[in-house]
Structure 1
Amino acid sequence: MPNHETIVILDFGSQTTQLIARRVREAGVYCEIHPCTIAPEAVVEMNPTGLILSGGPMSVYDEGAPQVDPSLFEMTGEAGEPVPVLGICYGLQAMATALGGKVEASDRREFGHADLVGHAETPLFAGIPTHTRVWMSHGDHLTKVPEGFRAIAATDNAPLAAVAHESRPLFGVQFHPEVVHTDDGARLLQNFALAVCSARGDWTTESFIDEKIREIRETVGDHHVVLGLSGGVDSSVAAALLHKAIGDQLTCIFVDNGLLRAGEFEQVQTTFRDGFHIDLRAVDASELFLSRLADVADPEEKRKIIGAAFIDVFTEETHKLEEELGHRPKFLAQGTLYPDVIESVSFKGPSATIKSHHNVGGLPEKLGFELLEPFRELFKDEVREVGTELGVPDAIIRRHPFPGPGLAVRILGPITRADADLLRQADTIWLDELETSGTYDDVWQAFAVLLPVKSVGVMGDYRTYEQAVCLRAVTSTDGMTADWAKLPYEVLGRASNRIINEVRGINRVAYDVSSKPPATIEWE
């Protein structure tokens, strides 16, 4: 981002690299993640305020293991001052190896909590107790520090758990300060950003909005922007930001595919057309989508059909808009987030396709739009903060993530309108019980899944043979990993009782206790 100091994070393949960035952003400092294979000259050109080397799954002595160019430890700022570097876990080992230290396999691998003791007085540990709990995840450890380095903290299994250079701002820690399991980890990363790197800490929601509005106006000029509004957090906040920047030059297209949440088609129109006075084109295309999905059970096939149908509807609506305007909209806006950008530049390449992406980015290039992605630098929690600042209703800001294909991937098996209505009722009751119990905001995502089975039940004196649903609720920080939510039995019991009693056609309710990995959050 222009006008902001930047800390560059080099990713060596850790599952928690994004958490490093989140902690640095929380300190009010802008940062970017780049693959560790990026050319050293490219890092220097970014003129970073600081450099962080992430953890990673490999051993530094493995064949083909990513290394770090020693020249990065010689970088200087505009005033000639050395650029601080912090190595985390593998990052520490890569730094030590590059500078002449030694890394070996540990006699005992260390995963989980450890007590960090005796750290020396350094800006990195300012305000952190000399005895603190940290989270370890390593099979190798540093056995010899490079010349000029000294140990500044230890655990029972890692005598070189933290090191620092005697005269240069080079630091390394064997533990993971980015995870919540490390008690003072956020403070340590804040110390690095603000005390060691001397960053101003001026990366705020307000500054982002002001700068992004100026950027959007300069980019768009007097052209028109079209946005595919889904009703979710990202596209909703993008609509609010774009409208604040360019007003009537924005048109939103909202498509009802028959697989939305209960009341969503009406709520989105009320919020954005009546509340924000945005030019919103709401299209009921439910018959088109549901007819194309008839008898289709394979989840990937469902996604492809929904994506193709959306393109058809979107194309038709943009042609109508073009006729009204007398010219073609130049830009297509979408709510791409920073995690999507990071994944696409992983040093190991894009991740395996577990589920095909369902964003508006699937629109073919032949439509001729230029992309406008105002949130490609932001994480989900930052988008929520922007939305709050812009006055997007709390009901949308707090809303749990919802898949692009909607209920199609929560109805296991072929889709009918009747099944979609059945699932909507069950899902609404489930979320209502979470709201009533005060647990909705403790959960990252919750929903109901309609199972492709029927079971025998009894209601009064009658035998029933009806459908079953499974309730899902997970806790997470970013959706990349998740644990099943340990909700009170009373909440589960009330939800089950209400669904069975209020939703005709369902006589059995289960609860999903799978974590991600090995399961995914959504069932399909």
Structure 2
Amino acid sequence: MQEKILIIDFGSQYTQLIARRVRELSVYCEIHPFNHLPAIDASVRGVILSGSPFSVRDAGAPRIDLSAIKGRLPLLGVCYGAQYLAQHFGGEVTPAPSREYGRAMLTVVEPDDRLMEGLPRTTQVWMSHGDTITRVPDGYRIVASTAEVHVAAYRIEGEPTWAIQFHPEVYHSTDGVQLLRNFVVGICSCAQSWTSESFVETTVRELREKIGDDKVVLGLSGGVDSTVAAVLLHRAIGENLHCIFVDSGLLRKNEFESVLDSYKGMGLNVKGVKAGDKFLGDLAGVTDPEAKRKIIGRDFVEVFNAEAQQLADVKWLAQGTIYPDVVESASVNGPAAKIKSHHNVGGLPEHMHLKVVEPLRLLFKDEVRRVGRSLGIGEELIGRHPFPGPGLAIRILGEITPERVEILQNVDKIYIDALREHGLYDQVWQAGVILLPVKSVGVMGDERTYESCVALRAVASTDGMTADWVHLPYEFLARVSNDIINKVRGVNRVVYDISSKPPATIEWE
């Protein structure tokens, strides 16, 4: 039985980050909404209560029955979790005199406390709260404070329960990983056996048992997730896996051929399908981003379904779903507010009447890459930047035409090739070019021009949930801009996007 830490989600923006930090300690964990708890069995070694956008004083604040957990299993309350454990069991939480957001200096009051072991007497932490704990119940012992927050960390005497007002999971908490290690490895006694190698071994065995001799169809995109899913399945069921790679006409320049070449040496059974005329024809005249996504999703389903139906006796549809997709679809208040339609292939199971298998549904993006390396997949695929499912369609603002697609493909190739040539590609999480629906005046030689503008985008991130724009060298940007304007007809202006996420998204549509 796989030991695990259970993370109870009260809706915090940081909940997935807590899970990532626990996973980085080679300990398996799962996130569950507070109102949909799983059975607490022998596999659960400890529980973490997340933060929340709510105040514990709100009438509609999340509440949870902890009778099967508190006092029986190691328990760590974080932010809202700390306030909940204080107020619900006899303490008091009130609005803070001044809300505390950002860095604070934590003073460890009890350095011998098990949660505080190895932390310096004074350490930087990250605060994000509007309430404060003004009184703790009897038996609660304060173990750390800040200048503004007296009850910054406490434990309950006589039981393995701790709570902290700050966020150890964010990078700004300089000793946060040590604190989480103290809880997960020290207090919960987890064995740190969750590794990419153990995941591969366990998953291949489970896939063989689950699928048996059935046939499976998988839509390859050339991206990291679908590639790793395909290799895992191929290792488990061999030639019974059938992969379909659809060219929508919206891929990067020469990508269809290069990706198929990459798969040749991997032993995968892949069929490439060129369907660009259908996609571009159906997108003609469409400018609304959501409409573009829906058309592309529908067309992909139709093309994929037509190809899959040519295969006899297929029983399973494989998808490259990863853990953030799973968590967000089961969030505290249902699916998160929709910013844009997700590019994953919705509707295929209903259309095709197939059972679904998702071998990566437990993994974050960086874990998928580590698993891919354990499987021996080459860096040219594992190290690829994420690429949007709708392809270049959502990087062409306004109408999509074959001519505009060709312009963007040519500009994008110059940019991506330059990042590789200058050793910058692996320093960037995702890069791309946006073709803007505006033209500007320029001059080339002695002639006035009135041509398109493109925006270069490069962000640094871990999983795409947040992202910072990358400070690319000015000399690099100058050279790329010059190459684009000189070599791509139809472009006379290049700009660089310096927006971070939030408030901007990584893609423009």
Q: Could you tell me the TM-score, scaled by structure 1's length?
A: 0.94
Distance 1:505 1:340 in 2: 38
> How far is 1:174 from its partner?
0.7
Distance 1:88 1:126 in 2: 18
Correspondence list, 1:35-434, <5 A? 35-39=33-37, 42-45=38-41, 47-74=43-70, 76=72, 83-120=73-110, 121-272=112-263, 274-322=264-312, 328-434=313-419
Label 1:190 to 1:354 Cα distance change in 2 as closer, same or farther (>3 A). same
What is the number of residues matched between the two proteins?
508
Distance 2:79 2:139 in 1: 19
Deviation per CA, 1:7-45, whole angstroms, max 9, x where unpaired?
100011110100100000111111000001135xx4424
**8 A Cα contact 1:136 1:175, kept in partner:** yes
SS class of match (1:378): coil
Which letter does structure 1 place at the counterpart of 2:356? L
> Where do 5+ consecutive residues of structure 2 fail to align?
none
**8 A Cα contact 1:481 1:517, kept in partner:** yes
Partner of residue 25, structure 1 = 23
> How far is 1:433 from its partner?
2.6
Which deviates the most, 15-24 or 359-368? Answer: 359-368
Correspondence list, 1:497-516, <5 A? 497-516=482-501
- Kindly indicate whether residue 469 of structure 2 is the aligned counterpart of residue 479 of structure 1: no
Deviation per CA, 1:44-93, whole angstroms, max 9, x where unpaired?
247510000001111100110012324144353xxxxxx10001111111
- Kindly indicate whether residue 400 of structure 2 is the aligned counterpart of residue 442 of structure 1: no
**8 A Cα contact 2:79 2:164, kept in partner:** yes
| Structure 1 runs, 4 residues or longer, greater than 6 Å off | none
Distance 1:482 1:348 in 2: 24
Deviation per CA, 1:383-415, whole angstroms, max 9, x where unpaired?
000111111110111111111100000001111
Which letter does structure 2 place at the counterpart of 1:201? Q
Partner of residue 325, structure 1 = none
Deviation per CA, 1:88-136, whole angstroms, max 9, x where unpaired?
1111111112221211111011111111113411222222211111111
Distance 1:509 1:46 in 2: 58
Which letter does structure 1 place at the counterpart of 2:292? K
Distance 1:352 1:344 in 2: 11
Which letter does structure 1 place at the counterpart of 2:434? V
Provide the alpha-carbon RMSD of the alignment: 1.4
- Kindly indicate whether residue 454 of structure 2 is the aligned counterpart of residue 464 of structure 1: no
Deviation per CA, 1:444-501, whole angstroms, max 9, x where unpaired?
2111000011111111222111111011122222212222223222222222122111
> How far is 1:257 from its partner?
0.4
Distance 1:472 1:306 in 2: 23
SS class of match (2:311): helix
Distance 1:187 1:7 in 2: 16
Distance 2:83 2:480 in 1: 50
Deviation per CA, 1:141-161, whole angstroms, max 9, x where unpaired?
111122211111111111111
Partner of residue 496, structure 1 = 481
Distance 1:207 1:512 in 2: 41
Distance 1:356 1:488 in 2: 34
Distance 2:282 2:451 in 1: 26
Distance 1:425 1:72 in 2: 60
SS class of match (1:208): helix
> Where do 5+ consecutive residues of structure 1 fail to align?
77-82, 323-327
